[in-house]
């Protein structure tokens, strides 16, 4: 059976966020033009994902959380977050919520964090510890999980 990867969860939550915005138009909580901060967060999220993905491709290591990593990345966005791709997806979801101004859409970034924290991050961090040992544990002390 094929495993559902984080980008699939992200896309489903993003689509649901957009649908809920239109189907259940609850209270608008952010006034215009401040909601355009959401566009900036979306842009930052996209850049984080592309940057981290490029680093993984350059080092020829896997982006799949259930596979064992072949290299240990600490440069670029990995200096500020142990999981910059998840952070990028979270920023896109949060940006979409801010842009829509709809209270109900803020459920989806929270759900994303919960899913990543339960389903993927523990497995990834276990694999990193198993593969890179002390170096990873030292990195873990220096760099926060999200930001």
102 has which bridge partners? 28
Question: How many other C-beta atoms can be found within 10 angstroms of the C-beta atom of residue 16?
Answer: 15
Cα–Cα distance measured from residue 3 to residue 31, given in angstroms and rounded to the nearest whole number: 40
Cα–Cα distance measured from residue 14 to residue 12, given in angstroms and rounded to the nearest whole number: 5
DSSP H helices, 6-36, are 6-23
Per DSSP, the three-state class of 122 is helix
What lies within 8 Å, CB to CB, of 14 at 6+ separation is 92, 93, 96, 108
Return the pLDDT at 62: 87
For the chain (length 147 residues), average pLDDT per consecutive 10?
91 97 83 92 98 95 90 95 97 96 94 98 95 96 95
Bond before 50 cis per omega within 30 degrees:
no
Count CA within 13 A, CB hemisphere, residue 65: 21
Cα–Cα distance measured from residue 139 to residue 144, given in angstroms and rounded to the nearest whole number: 9
Q: What pTM did the predictor assign? A: 0.93
Return the pLDDT at 28: 81
């Amino acid at each position: 059976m094929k495993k559902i990867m984080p980008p699939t969860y992200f896309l489903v939550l993003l689509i649901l966020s957009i649908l809920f915005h239109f189907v259940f138009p609850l209270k608008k909580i952010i006034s215009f033009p401040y909601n355009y901060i959401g566009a900036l967060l979306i842009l930052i999220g996209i850049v984080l994902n592309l940057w981290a993905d490029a680093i993984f491709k350059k080092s020829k290591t896997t982006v799949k959380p259930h596979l064992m990593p072949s290299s240990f990345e600490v440069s670029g966005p990995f200096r500020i977050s142990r999981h910059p791709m998840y952070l990028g997806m979270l920023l896109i979801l949060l940006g979409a919520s801010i842009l829509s101004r709809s209270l109900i859409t803020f459920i989806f970034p929270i759900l994303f964090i919960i899913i990543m924290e339960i389903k993927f991050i523990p497995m990834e961090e276990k694999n990193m510890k198993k593969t890179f040992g002390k170096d990873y544990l030292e990195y873990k002390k220096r760099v926060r999980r999200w930001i």
